Amino acid sequence: MCGITGYVGKNNAIDFLISGLEKLEYRGYDSAGICVTNGSALKLCKTEGRISVLKEKVFSFDVSGKTGIGHTRWATHGMPNHLNSHPHLSNDKKFAVVHNGIIENYSHIKRMLADRGFEFASETDTEIIPNLLQYYYNGDVFDAFAKTVECLEGSYALGVVSAHQPDTLFAVRKDSPLIVGLGDNENYLASDIPAILPLTQKIYILESGEFAIITKDDVKIVNSDKKIINKEIFKVTWNIDDAKKDGYDFYMLKEITEQPEAVMKTILPRIKNEKIDLSELLLDDEFLKKLERIHIVACGSAFHAAVMGKDYIEGISRTAVSAELASEFRYKNPIINKNDLVIIISQSGETSDTLAALRYAKGKGNKILSIVNVRGSSIARESDYVLYTHAGPEIAVATTKAYLTQLYVLMLFAIYLAELKDVILHEQYLCLINDMIQSASQIKKLLSKSDYLNSLAQKFIDVKDVFYIGRGVDNSLAMEGSLKLKEISYIHSESYAAGELKHGTISLIEDGTLVVALCTQKKLFGKMLSNIKEVKARGAYVIAIGTEDMNDLETEADNVIFIPKTNEYLAAALAVIPLQLFAYYISLHKGFDVDKPRNLAKSVTVE
Ligand code: G6P
């Protein structure tokens, strides 16, 4: 959600500003812009729409300069148009600002500035910032910057250039992420690692309240009093090849295909001699043995992983779990005991609501264990304990491999906890571990059904409504399947606990309505068959997903996809793969930009 780039160095800033923004496209945006300076004037170029349009504009106007900032905007305050897109300029055109986040007290500041004669061209909250800089400027840009930031309430990652000091880039963050990349005779600013990765793997990750003063050959991290903060350089361990498309049309398909390796990288280092080893956690075993309640908090697909994780942990370790939406958690006065463990799940580690929920629980004195994909992200840094999913960089907005690896981490944790609490038979313990290890070949088997799912998807590109139904663990799988479809194909879809259909939703079933029935749970198979019959009797077209021994499915459903035989928990995890492929192919055949669905962002850094 919104991307920031910044450059100061020996070369034309435009090259990095634009190529960096392209690497951040996956975050979601609807307009883009850059501002460069090479002396006393700021040159601005921005546009509604895609970076390709911005590129054409920049080259046709021959904009160049050695210091600059760039931005992709995901509209919050005001329409996605030229006026609202960033960078924003001060009235005297001496300051330019890019901003991620939301300034909550902007209308009050806007009124104050307007009373002093400032004029505003946009509807954004951001435009107050360059004007505050102008207002406070008294010969020292940093001083004006520190005073400006002191006025701001809300969340922000800011990049600033000024015609008063054209060889310097200024930055600060609070809550929204921002990094500084360290180059050779050039330095970079970005809201996420992929932007700078082709150029350097050495970065500073700014913490809230830290300012960066960046020139061609120096980076100072300081506090608001300009006192130097000694920070360690963070070395990024993955490289740009991990984030390339490798010949795939879309990242989403590449990432779906990478799932066997992602799962194995996530679980194998944690299974030693047929035993789960989570010693990396440094979490006291005595604390876990006495643990009575866990709260898992997350957003989007990570929340769906939380709901399935609840079933894993409750089913296997008999520990009570609540799965909570991060956006609701801190506002509902949740009942959490000091001894409860709070598990935070996030691919990006930057989701604003999830981070706020983490801080809320931490403030209550709870221990925080996070399951995160991006190393060094805010959630990882602020948690007491972290279990990384080793899914590698995920670029497509719709998550696939990160979601699946989250399920496997939850499974590892559930089995580990069960053993500590002595509530699992050794035989079952070994079986579950063995099933996990078998997953790579089973995922590959499911990926080999890609052509079949492609042809099935082609049949349904014009459907208006789809219902995903399931029971038990399949209920949370239904949520994820339905979300995958709607987010990238724009087809209306809903998920329901299959047993709930008769309490209202069945009235929506008519001739040809598509129902995706998830039947991976053997003990609930008979009940699911009845639900399938009920919707078929009202004209529904049923695609069913079951395990290889469920022969009856073929006589009841119109199409069946079989999942290799495994335990009840992993069957539901594996079944997400055909659902991902089905959604992917529908979006592809509808001609959509699968990786960048409209209105959505990969990393949601505003509330
Ligand atoms: C966005 C993404 C989803 C993701 C959710 C939570 O909505 O499009 O794919 O599940 O954010 O993100 P997180 O990074 O916290 O897992």
In the predicted model, is pLDDT for residue 525 greater than 90? yes
pLDDT of residue 83: 86
Q: What angle do CA 144, 14, 192 make, to 5 degrees?
A: 70
- Residue 81 pLDDT grade (very low, low, confident, very high; cuts 50, 70, 90): confident
| Residue 560: pLDDT band with limits 50, 70, 90 | very high
Whether the per-residue pLDDT at 1 is higher than 70: the answer is: no
Q: What percent of the chain has pLDDT over 90?
A: 81
39: Cβ contacts below 8 Å, ≥ 6 apart: 163, 166
The residue-averaged pLDDT of 570-575 equals 98
- C-alpha distances (whole Å) from 386 to each of 175, 418, 426, 603 are 19, 19, 27, 19
What residue ranges line ligand 1, CB within 6 angstroms?
A: 299-302, 346-348, 351, 354, 397-399, 600, 602-604
Handedness of CA 210, 211, 213, 214 (dihedral sign): positive
Please report which confidence band the pLDDT of residue 200 belongs to, taking 50, 70 and 90 as the band edges.
very high
Comparison of pLDDT for 282 and 312, the residue scoring more:
312
Mutate to test the pocket of ligand 1, among 602, 605, 606, 607 (most ligand atoms within 8 A of CB): 602
For 502, half-sphere exposure in the C-beta direction (CA atoms, 13 angstrom radius) is 9
> Region 390-414: what's the mean pLDDT?
96
Task: Label residue 274 exposed, middle or buried (CB < 10 Å: 0-12, 13-18, 19+).
Answer: exposed
User: What kind of architecture, by CATH, is found in domain 244-437?
Assistant: 3-Layer(aba) Sandwich (3.40)
Q: How confident is the model at residue 30 (pLDDT cuts 50, 70, 90)?
A: confident
Residue 370: the pLDDT is: 98
| Residue 156 confidence class, pLDDT cut points 50, 70, 90 | very high
Query: Does the fold of domain 447-607 match that of domain 244-437?
Result: yes
pLDDT of residue 535 exceeding 90? yes
* 62-66, 174-178, 212-216, 322-326, range with the lowest pLDDT: 62-66
Nearest CA to ligand 1 atom 3: 300
pLDDT of residue 250: 93
**Percent of the chain having pLDDT more than 70?**
98
Per-residue pLDDT, averaged over 69-95, amounts to 89
Q: Which residues pair with 181 in a beta bridge?
A: 188, 203
At residue 543, the pLDDT reads 98
- Directed axis angle between helix 576-589 and helix 450-459, to 10°? 50
- Residues serving a catalytic function are 2, 602
Q: How many CB atoms lie under 10 A from the CB of residue 308?
A: 29
pLDDT bracket for residue 240 (50, 70, 90): low
- Per-residue pLDDT at 602: 81
Q: Is the pLDDT of residue 450 over 90?
A: yes
Distance (angstroms) between ligand 1 centre and the Cα of 603 equals: 6
With the most atoms of ligand 1 within 8 angstroms of its CB, the residue from 29, 327, 348, 378 to mutate is 348
pLDDT at 11 over 80: yes
How many angstroms does the Cα of residue 206 sit away from the middle of ligand 1? 22
Residue 372 has pLDDT above 90, yes or no: yes
- Three-class secondary structure of residue 43 per DSSP: strand
Average pLDDT of the chain is 93
**What residue ranges do the domains of the chain occupy?**
3-242, 244-437, 447-607
What's the distance, CA 42 to chain centroid?
A: 34
What single DSSP character describes residue 25? Answer: G
Q: Which of 29, 299, 350, 599 to mutate to test the pocket of ligand 1 (most atoms within 8 A of CB)?
A: 299
447-607 CATH pick, 3.90.1720.10, 3.50.50.60, 3.40.50.10490, 3.40.50.1820: 3.40.50.10490
pTM: 0.82
Distance 442 CA to ligand 1 centre (A): 26
d(CA 320, CA 365): 19
Kindly indicate the confidence band of residue 607, based on its pLDDT and cuts at 50, 70 and 90.
Answer: confident
Dist. CA 302 → ligand 1 center (Å): 7
CATH code given to domain 3-242: 3.60.20.10
Give dist(CA 35, CA 70) in Å, integer.
6
Which ligand 1 atom is at minimum distance from the Cα of 402?
16
Per the CB < 8 A criterion, the answer to whether 159 and 187 are in contact is no
